[in-house]
Structure formats: structure tokens, C-alpha cells
Amino acid sequence: MCGIAGKAVAGGRVPPELIRRMCAVIEHRGPDSNGLHCDDGIGLGIQRLRVIDLDTGDQPIFNEDRSVAVTLNGEIYNYRELRAELEEAGHTFSTKGDTEVIAHLYEDEGEACVDRLRGMFAFAVWDAKSRTLMLARDRLGKKPLFYTQREGTLWFASEARSIFQDPEVPRKVDFEAIDSYLAAQYVPHPLSAFEGVRKLPPATMLLWQDGRIRLRRYWKLSYATTLNGAGDRELEEVIRRELLEATALRLRSDVPLGAFLSGGVDSSAVVAAMAKQASGRVKTFSIGFDVETFDETAYAREVAELFDTDHHTFRVEPHAMELLPRLVWHYGEPFADPSAIPSFYLAELARSHVTVALNGDGGDEAMAGYPRYAGNLLAERLRHVPPSVLRATLKTLKAVAGSNEPSDFVRRARRVLETAPLAAWERYATWVAPFTEEERDALYTAEFRSELSERPAAKLIRDSFAASDADNLVERLLDVDVQSYLPDGLLVKMDIAAMAHSLEVRSPLLDQRFVEVAASMPVSAKSRGRKSKVAFKNALRRWLPDHILDRPKMGFGVPLKHWFRGELSELPVDVLLDPRSLQRGFFREDGLRSLIADHQDGRADHSLKIWALLQLELWMRTYIDPAEVPTQPMAVA
């Protein structure tokens, strides 16, 4: 796991000092060594976290005649198998690690080399003979890559702040990206929060030559059912086999490793698969809260005891908000998922014991674990109910709630009824949005609205839904999540939290083969009415107790609602209504005051909206206001 950065120019040389600066601001991603390759037209830099091949694996790494140079952020899990094949074909290796495999594969297969790689990666290949730079990102978007091009020159990096170490690249707000952020909790690819800077999409390569670029997508998940004739027992056996194999590949390491354990289905499944194959006791790590409805530590302890792991727990309290300056600096863009807080602490806890941790990310997207899939299916069925009946039912529910914040059941029921008339993709977009389009427009000033010509967040969801080859609603929604929330939300959250602490996180449930097999299963193996992850849970009953598998999903939430009405009630007022914030002219002051008052008086739960606005304002103060991008976390005044 590393951080990479570079610059390609059509003529001339790239100053080594610039590449060193670009790497220095992402040193946390790889503090063990740094490397540099500057030649005519190219500058490549790498900050390396040593995980495999500790002695000879420092980068950049070259082929035999040094005409191909490679920098890699991530891991190629099938590198041993590929190495054996390449050696048999006559290639000579000078290292024992995974990066060199890319150099020799590129020699033989060119840009098609990416099709052979099984892993999480963002890498750069410089071909000196053809003066071509190839950038590629893994299939599901585990590892990030930002880039920008101006007048034929290309900059790229694992984090956007590296690019801004070159004064030639301006820092401006991308207003459509900010609108998308408030619609999704994150800035969706290919946008970034900075005008002109883009994210390379997952499963995509970028080829630069002589100042011109082209992008090519090399993989897409298919939901065409190929296991339709398989019985339940056979499907369960396939799941166990693929999980064990994906986990075994991720146990390849020359440094200590452990696992995140929430006590939920996915993390418990990974710990079980590790315990069956790891040598020695597995180290496990959990996060807890003092608010009982958010705390899963009892379940985590039970699973830890079941597999005799070396278990460690950390409790998150309201003073965790002291973490805000570090969060804002490390995430580099506004990021509104509040579970970034416990993720940050979890990574810090794990890094004090191990260098690599496995987690359960991806299980919900592979096996239909989120309640929104069943909820959207129910709403789709209600589209045939007469509108007068829906309106009457809604009126009754609103009367039940009165002026107070509605219960979770009433809130979910209202959401289903209100969105039933919408198209499925619109319904999804509404459900995942902190602010609906109408709420955003009501909050924006006329000046902010004038900056918006498109609404890209909705387009990404609509296009992903339309492009899916799934023949049913649930799997189309799974496909949307794989194309949007997974790479831009969930995986960003964990990549930044982990890399802030120089920790590598591996996800067996995001293994290419595992997700392809899961997608090929009939939808009934994933979702049946209100039941989720049907075949996955049944496959695990040999390893885990029923009450762990069948308990309601809790997620990795944070008690923001309670904090913003208690210990942190002054924070939204102090930040969002500060003259410095209001003078930006983004949001109407009366709209902000109403939002905060309604939350604190118990009329509505606006905690996620408030958190999203806080993150945006603090990002502005960190990355837009200063004359230069700060090179380390700073107090956000």
C-alpha cells in the first residue's frame, strides 16, 4: 500500500524537486521508503508502505532493460502465479514482490496487462520507447487516483493535494461537484471538489501520449445469471469456497495482519475464514459507543471468543469531534459519511498492533444487504395503488407523527409512500441523498444556483441504472451501488482512514471472482422479500450462530443526532452561522437557522444535513481559503 504521484510533459524534463514535494504531502500513505524516476517527459514518485518483499521491493520498479517503469499503490494478489508464468516465458525478476509483475506483463501484453491482475490497485506505467504513460485503477475502485490535464501536461496522484504542489495547477471550487456532494454525501467520480481535477473511474485506464489522453473501461460487472440451475446447497458451497480462497490470497504478507470485527455478518464471515486458514491467533479490532443503539461490541466480543481471537476495543465519545481538522485534511474533499469518525479510530487502533487488516466491505453490495433494496421493491409495487389512497395514508402517518420527529418506522413508511410514484432510479437517488434536489435549491442562494448548469449526481445514478444488464430491480440497484456508493463513498471512507495511519486494508468480499460469482447467482439467492443475503447467511451457518446472522442490520453509524442536541449543540451555530461562512454566499442564512433549530428542538433529525454542511465549510477553510494547501492537518479557524 502506497501513495503515487507524477507529471508527464510533451517536451522537456520534470523537476525532481516537484515530484518530491508531491510525494511528501502523502508520506502517511507510505512512510517506509520513497522513490523517484525522472526522465525526458516524465516524473514518477512513490511513498511506499512495505508489506510484501520488504528488502528488494522499493519502487519505482523496472523491466530488464529499464524501458518500462512502474509505481503501484495497492496489492496484486495473484502475483505469485503470474510470476511463475512470466519466468517460464523467459522474463528475469530482480525482486520478490508484486509490482515487478506489472512491468513484465506490460512488456508482453501492453495495456491488456490489466486484465490479468487480481487485486486492488492504482498504478502508473511509463513506456520510454513509445513515450506513453498508462494509468489504471482496479475494477471496484479500492484505490484512488486523481488527475488533471492542462495544455497537454498531465498530473496525477493518489490524493488531490499532491497535484496542487505544482503552482501551475489552480485551486478553484467545482460548484457542480459541491451540489453532487450534497446529493450523495460524497463527490462522485469523475468529478472532484476542485474544478478541472478529475478522478479516474474504477475499472478504467488512462493512456497519455504526446499531450493527448484517452480513457478506456476494461471491465464491468455482469448480472447475467449463470448459476440459475444450482440448488441452495450448491450455492452455499460455492460461497464458502470463494470466500476461503479470496481470504487466503489476502493473508499473503511479510508483516503482521489482523481484522476489523464489528460483530455484523460480513466482518464475522471474514474473521471466520481467516481463523480457519491463518497461522496463529487472529488479531481483531472493534469500535463501540456509549449510546446503546449504536454499540455492537457485545456481538464482536462473542465472535472473537468463538474463534479465540486476540481482541481489542476502542470506545468513541463526543470529544471525538476534536478529530475534525485531521479528518478534513486527510479526506481532501468534503465527505459527509459520519462513520468516517469510528473508521479513523478503528484504523488507528489496528495500526498500533498490525500493518495489514482485513475487513468485510463489499458484502452488502454483493449480496443485497441494505434495507433500501427491499424498500425500493415495495415502493415499486405501490406504484399501482391509486394516488388518492397513497395521499390519504401519508396524511394519516403525518398526523401520527405530529410536530415531533417521527419514529424510524413512520419515517421509513413515509419515504416509501412519498417516492412510490417515482421511477426506481429517482427513488434510489432520493433515499440516499442528505438533501433532495428541492431541499438543495431551497437552501442555495441565487448566486450559488447560477453556477449550476447540470446535476451530475443524478446522472450517474440514472446512467448506471440504465446500463445495467440485470433483469430485475434489486440487482439493478446493486449495480448502481457498485458504480457509485461503493467506490465513491464506502471505499473512500476506509482508504483515507486507513492510509492516514499507514495501514493497509484488504477486503475479501470485494475480490473480483467473489463479486462475479455473487452477481451470477439468481436474485432469490440474495433477496427474498424482507430477507437479505439469503444464500450468504445460510452458507455461514456452519461457522456462525444464527442470532449473529439473523439480527437486524445496525450499520456503522455515529450518534450525531444526540451529540448535536447535547454536548455539541453549539458547533453547528459556531461554524455554519459564522460571518466567514455566511459571506461565501452559498446558503441562505434563514435556511441554515431553520435547519439547526428544527433539529435541536426535536422537530426533525437533520443531523446528517448539518454534518454535511459542517464538512463542506471546514473543507473550504482548509483547501480553498489558504494561499497554499497545508502540508499537514491544521486547526480549522
Residues with catalytic function:
2
- Can you spell out the DSSP letters for 10-29? EEEE--HHHHHHHHHTTGGG
3-state SS, residue 458: helix
- Can you spell out the DSSP letters for 277-329? TSSSPPEEEEEEESSGGG--HHHHHHHHHHTT-EEEEEEE-GGGGGGHHHHHH
3-state SS, residue 386: coil
**229 φ, ψ (degrees, to nearest 5):** -85, -5
Q: Is 86 exposed, middle or buried (0-12, 13-18, 19+ CB in 10 A)?
A: buried
Q: Is 252 exposed, middle or buried (0-12, 13-18, 19+ CB in 10 A)?
A: middle
For residue 175, what are the CA distances in angstroms to 345, 406, 426, 565? 31, 33, 22, 31
Round to whole Å and give the CA distance between 592 and 603: 15
3-state SS, residue 203: coil
Residue with cell 448459476: 227
- What CA dihedral angle connects 346, 360, 470 and 554, to 10 degrees? -70
Cell digits of residue 632? 499537514
Cell digits of residue 384? 399501482
Residues ≥6 apart with Cβ < 8 Å to 627? none
Strand bridging mode 504-506 / 356-358 = parallel
Round to whole Å and give the CA distance between 326 and 45: 24
- The gap from C-alpha 1 to its chain's centroid, in whole angstroms, comes to 16
* Residues 372 and 431 sit within 8 Å (Cβ to Cβ): yes
Quickly count: other Cβ atoms within 10 Å of residue 608's Cβ: 18
Round to whole Å and give the CA distance between 503 and 501: 5
For residue 601, what are the CA distances in angstroms to 560, 561, 569, 574, 598? 15, 11, 11, 17, 5
